[in-house]
Structures are given as C-alpha cells and as structure tokens.
C-alpha cells in the first residue's frame, strides 16, 4: 500500500516565505565598520532579498549558477543567504581569512560567476581577481570604500543601486527539487586542496529543524541570536536558516571580532544565545579579567561553542558568570551540527563535577545523525574506552565533495563520512574526541592526546591558552611540545606546569618542552593553527 501524504518538497524558500509573512517585526542588527549599528527587521530584509533575487536574474544568473560572497557578518550577507537560492542559484561563501591565491583557486574550482563583496574588502578582492575572473562583481557599501569603482573594472556594480528598482516586488522562487543545492562551502583543506561541500534545500531544512530543538539551539521567536561564527564557516553553523524558521532576531558583529567589541555589543543588545569558537570565547574571558566590572554578560544567555574542543575551565568560567555553554561538535561536512553536549536526564542530579565533565565532551549525536567509532578491526563498542575514528552519516552529512573523485580516505565504502577525528563514545552515548587524526602524538609506539594535554594546561591558573604539537623525535618518533600563553601578570616554569600535569598524565606523556608565546597563531576559522606552530618549532 501507499502513504496518502502529500508530495511536498522541503525548501528554504518556504522558510523564507514563512519569515516574511509571520515574523516581519523580528530584528536584524549589524555592527558597521564605524561601530554604529544598523537595525532592520525581517520585513526589510525579506523585501531586499527578493529584490536581490530579481537583480541576479536580470544579470543573467541561471539555475545552479554559483554566486559567491566575500563578506563579513551583516544583514546584506543574510540577504544573500536567501536571495541567492530564491533566484535558483547557489551561494558560495568565500573565506576571507584565506590567502588571495587560495580564495581565487576556490572561486575558480567552483566556477563562481558573480561575487557579492563588502566595499571594505575591495583590496582583498583586487588580489583575488588576479586568480579568478567573476563575470559580475556586486559591491555592498558596508563602510568607507577603500578603493574606487574606477579602479576595479567595468563589471562592478553597486549592491544598493542594483536592488533599488526591485524593492517591494514579489518574487516567485525558481522551481527546484529538494535535493538541489543552495549553498557551497569549501573546507579549510588542512590536507590537500580545499574541497567543496554543497548543501541542499532538504539538508538545510532538516538541519534547521534539528538545530532548533530544545536541547540544541532551543530556538524560539523571542530569542536574539548573536552570530559571532563567520557566515563563511559552514553557513554560520546554519543558525541564520534556523532563526528565520523560528522568527528569532539576529545580531551580527560585522568585522569587529575583538573581545572588547563583542562584549560591548553583548551588553548593548542583550542576546539570549551566542555562537562562536572557543578561542574567541577565551578572549572574552581574558578581556573581562583584565577590566573587572566593565562588562556583565547578558543574564541567562545560552551559548553554543564549537569548531574545536571546548576546555572544561572555559565552560566553568562562563557558568560562574551566568552563561550556559553547550558544546557542539561537527564540521563543514556535517552542516555542521553532529553532536551537542547537553546534559541527559540521568546526569542532571549527578553533581557539578560530573555535569561539567560531560559538558566538556563533544556530546550526544543529534537526531538524524548516526555515529560510529571504527578501529582497525571494525566498529568499536560504546564503552568509553575503545578509541577509533569517528564516522557519521545522515541526511545533512556530505557524502562526496563538489567535483572531486570519491576518496576512500574521506568516505567509507558503506557510505559513512570519515571525520578525521579520533575518539570514543561511552555507554550513555557521549562522544569524547581524543584528537584529530593528524594531531595525535605517537611516542614510543603509544599515543598521546594533544587535546587532553591542552585542556589540562588551560585549567592551570597561570595559563590563558595552550596548544600542544608533535615534533619529530629520533628515538620516540614524536614528542609533545606545549606552546603556552600566560595570563597577564602570571607565569609558571616548565617544572611547575609538569607538576600540574603529573596529576593526570603518565611521566612519558608530559611535554618535553614549553614555548611561551604572546598569542597562539590561529587559522582562518579561529582554531589554533598547529601547522604554523609545527613550522615555528621544529624538532
């Protein structure tokens, strides 16, 4: 027999139409380059996104064409999130932290036809344009332009002038299948060339629904979401789609990611949910410690932190300030939410230590994501001890890369994504990431977890940040070297630090060397840049 249910395709155009109709009053607040605020509501944003769709069609953009963005987090970037798919095209968010050559290579590989770029990023665009030619370049007047149009060529258009004739016009979305792509994002490519992940209407709607569930973002119309995560990282972790689905307001920091600016904006806008990477959240703590009493975090604010392991000390420090952190684990290939460290009912009365310990784990797989741990001999039990590669699958997990041949190093023959993370799952279903495959330290035939060492070091009162790398060693193959940043006015000797670590690590696992830095270099995604550290501190 057959189901009697309607054939109704999932579409983010429906999420958009819902937002326009039901939530016209929800706000979108953007911090401009001059640090003034631009306040808009969904009514304006949706009118502008429809106008953008008209303008793109008028420029000759066709179904499936790639329209790239090279933008900070702000309202016009949000307009691209919806206006580009409305027009049937695929939004390709370019990572402005990469080198111009890399950005150009990625734009070329994706065959980007049109670019939407912030005027403050025109110097970067000019360098990128040496490597890839866009047919049209649409310049959004975000702040003071740093290059005149005359210097840029004839194919350059002004965003506001382009959309102006279409403001207020309705737009009928270009017909599509639920599996058609809406957005393209290249992974940062720690090994080999960057690779593109293309999200579909279906995957994005499903990810938005799962993300909005009470134990993940817990998103309501009354929420105000502070999206610190760059909009070119896994679509800002998918939260702009979720926000429009639920009618939540959004606050974007623009290009101002310094702790002081972020804290000022939090105090001013009082978000209820904030999303970002642990390194930025660490910088917030440091700024608050350096200027006690200058800022108070919004009372009761929730925070989803991910993109790298979240140290327990960070979670505790925010809890002491009234902010609940939930850790999310995932990656560009998983849309990105694959697990969250919410506290399951059986641990809610387990005592503070156990609760914080669990919050510092990568968490429980979210609905619709299937997860397994695979060792050399196959799938491993969920016993909290068996460590192997973490593999996932599900309707918002990428099964291939855009225009790349299938690679058994990336996907298994039975259809799972090999995440490159190594970890274990305990009997309660909590994933613990031990390391990235490539960040494990192999010493004397045994493995040392750089993540465990980093977390333990960051719990030391003198240490603000710590990154542990493997350096080649003649006898032991590899040995750990710890790169540390001290808190202002604090320091500690290697002996003191090793004594601190000895409480939880075997003697042979302790770092051989400590390197004291002013700051740990970061990748374009705000993670500790271990590749750079390995170059700085060879054997």
Q: Interaction with its own copies in 222-281: which residues (CB under 8 A)?
A: 222, 245-247
Closest distance to its own copies from the beta carbon of 74 (Å): 22
Q: How far is CA 264 from CA 30, 208, 222, 256, 271, in A?
A: 13, 29, 21, 11, 12
DSSP 130-151: TT---SEEEEE--SS-SS-GGG
Of these residues, 333, 389, 454, 478, which one is catalytic?
333
Distant-in-sequence contacts of 150-153, Cβ < 8 A, 24+ apart: 151/126, 152/122, 152/125, 152/126, 153/129
For residue 349, state whether it binds its own copies (rule: CB under 8 A): no
Tokens representing 53 are 């769709």
Only one residue has tokens 């690590």, namely 505
Catalytic residue among 447, 476, 477, 515: 447
| Residue 56 vs 210, nearer CB to its own copies | 210
Q: How far apart are CA 471 and CA 529, in angstroms?
A: 15
Residue closer to its own copies by CB (options 133, 399) is 399
When the beta carbons of 44 and 286 are compared against its own copies, the nearer one is 44
Q: Residue from 33, 218, 494, 521 that binds its own copies (CB under 8 A)?
A: 218
Q: Least distance to its own copies from the beta carbon of 112, Å?
A: 11
C-alpha 207/C-alpha 222 separation (Å) is: 20
State in Å, rounded, how far the first CA of the chain is from the last one: 67
Q: Does 107 bind its own copies (CB under 8 A)?
A: no
Asked if 41 is part of the footprint of its own copies (rule: CB under 8 A), the reply reads no
DSSP 249: E
Q: How far is the CB of 443 from its own copies (least distance, A)?
A: 34
- 487 has catalytic annotation: no
Minimum CB–partner distance for residue 107 and its own copies (Å): 14
Which of residues 130 and 179 has its CB atom nearest to its own copies in the complex? Answer: 179
DSSP 315-353: HHHHHHTT-EEEEEEE-GGGSSEEEE----GGGTTS-HH
Q: Which of residues 368-427 bind its own copies (CB under 8 A)?
A: 368, 370, 382, 393-402, 415, 417
DSSP 510: S
Q: Binding segment for its own copies among 160-168, 217-225, 317-325, 524-532 (CB under 8 A)?
A: 217-225
The mark string for 56-85 relative to its own copies (x by CB under 8 A, - otherwise) is --------x-x-------------------
10-29 residues in contact with its own copies (CB under 8 A) are 10, 14-15, 18, 21-23, 25-26
Q: Which two tokens stand for residue 262?
A: 């972020």
Q: Does 442 qualify as catalytic in the annotation? A: yes
Q: At what angle are helices 201-212 and 239-246 packed, to 10 degrees?
A: 70
Piece of 77-85, 152-160, 175-183, 232-240 that binds its own copies (CB under 8 A):
175-183
Q: Which is nearer to its own copies, 172 or 348 (CB)?
A: 348
Handedness of CA 181, 527, 368, 248 (dihedral sign): negative
Catalytic residue of the set 93, 187, 204, 419? 187
Among 171, 199, 232, 329, binds its own copies (CB under 8 A): 199
Q: Which is nearer to its own copies, 221 or 521 (CB)?
A: 221
Which residues, in sequence order, are CB contacts of 183 under 8 Å at separation 6+?
A: 81, 85, 90, 91, 92, 93, 198, 199, 204, 235
For the record, the structure tokens of 115 come out as 């670019």
Cβ at position 218, least distance to its own copies in Å? 6
Query: Minimal distance in Å, beta carbon 114 to its own copies?
Result: 15
Spatial separation of the C-alpha atoms in residues 306 and 325, rounded to whole Å: 10
How far apart are alpha carbons 537 and 526 in whole angstroms? Answer: 20
Which member of 102, 180, 389, 452 binds its own copies (CB under 8 A)?
A: 180
For residue 429, state whether it binds its own copies (rule: CB under 8 A). yes
At 452, phi and psi to the nearest 5? -60, -45
Residue 320 is a binding residue for its own copies (CB under 8 A): no
Residue 529 known to be catalytic: no
Compute how many other C-beta atoms are within 10 angstroms of the C-beta atom of residue 62: 12
Does 172 engage in binding with its own copies (CB under 8 A)?
A: no
Choose the stretch contacting its own copies; rule: CB under 8 A; options: 1-9, 68-76, 113-121, 468-476: 1-9
Please confirm, yes or no, whether 400 is among the known catalytic residues: no
> In terms of CB distance, is 49 or 245 closer to its own copies?
245
Catalytic residues: 187, 333, 442, 447
């Amino acid at each position: 027999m057959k189901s009697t249910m309607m054939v109704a395709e999932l579409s983010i155009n429906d999420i958009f139409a819902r937002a326009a109709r039901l939530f016209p009053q929800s706000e979108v607040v953007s911090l401009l380059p001059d640090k003034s605020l631009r306040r808009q509501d969904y009514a304006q944003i949706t009118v502008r996104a429809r106008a953008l769709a008209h303008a793109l069609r008028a420029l000759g953009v066709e179904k499936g064409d790639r329209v790239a963005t090279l933008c900070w987090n702000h309202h016009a970037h949000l307009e691209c999130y919806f206006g580009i798919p409305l027009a049937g095209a695929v939004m390709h968010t370019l990572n402005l932290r990469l080198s111009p050559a890399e950005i150009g290579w990625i734009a070329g590989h994706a065959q980007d036809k049109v670019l939407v770029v912030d005027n403050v990023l025109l110097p970067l665009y000019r360098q990128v344009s040496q490597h890839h030619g866009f047919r049209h370049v649409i310049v959004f007047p975000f702040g003071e332009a740093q290059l005149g149009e005359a210097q840029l060529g004839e194919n350059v258009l002004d965003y506001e002038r382009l959309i102006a004739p279409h403001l207020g016009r309705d737009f009928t979305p270009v017909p599509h299948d639920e599996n058609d792509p809406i957005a393209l994002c290249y992974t940062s490519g720690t090994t080999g060339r960057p690779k593109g992940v293309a999200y579909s209407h279906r995957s994005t709607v499903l990810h938005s629904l799962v993300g909005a569930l009470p134990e993940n973002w817990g998103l309501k119309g009354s929420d105000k979401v502070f999206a610190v995560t760059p909009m070119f990282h896994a679509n800002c972790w998918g939260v702009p789609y979720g926000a429009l689905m639920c009618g939540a307001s959004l606050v974007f920091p623009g290009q101002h990611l310094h702790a002081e600016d972020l804290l000022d904006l939090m105090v001013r806008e009082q978000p209820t949910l904030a999303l970002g990477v642990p390194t930025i959240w660490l910088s917030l703590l440091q700024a608050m410690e350096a200027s006690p009493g200058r800022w108070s975090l919004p009372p009761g604010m929730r925070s989803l932190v991910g993109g790298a392991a979240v140290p327990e000390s960070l979670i505790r420090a925010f809890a002491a300030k009234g902010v609940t952190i939930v850790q999310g684990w995932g990656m560009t290939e998983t849309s990105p939410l694959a697990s969250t460290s919410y506290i399951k009912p059986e641990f809610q009365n387990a005592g503070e230590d156990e609760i914080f310990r669990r919050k510092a784990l990568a968490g429980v797989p979210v609905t619709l994501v299937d997860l397994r741990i695979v060792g050399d001999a196959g799938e491993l039990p969920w016993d909290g001890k068996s460590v192997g590669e973490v593999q996932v699958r599900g309707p918002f997990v990428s099964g291939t890369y855009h225009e790349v041949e299938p690679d058994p190093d990336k996907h298994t023959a039975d259809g799972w994504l090999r995440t490159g993370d190594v970890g274990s799952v305990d009997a309660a279903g909590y994933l613990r990431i031990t390391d990235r495959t490539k960040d494990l330290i192999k010493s004397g035939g045994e493995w040392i977890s750089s993540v465990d060492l980093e977390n333990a070091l960051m719990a030391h009162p003198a240490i603000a940040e710590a990154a542990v790398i493997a350096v080649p060693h003649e006898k032991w193959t590899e040995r750990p070297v710890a790169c540390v940043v001290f808190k202002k006015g604090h320091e500690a000797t290697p002996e003191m630090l090793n004594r601190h670590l000895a409480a939880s690590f075997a003697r042979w696992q302790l770092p051989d060397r400590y390197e004291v830095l002013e700051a740990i270099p970061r990748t374009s995604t705000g993670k500790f840049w271990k590749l750079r550290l390995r170059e700085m501190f060879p054997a």
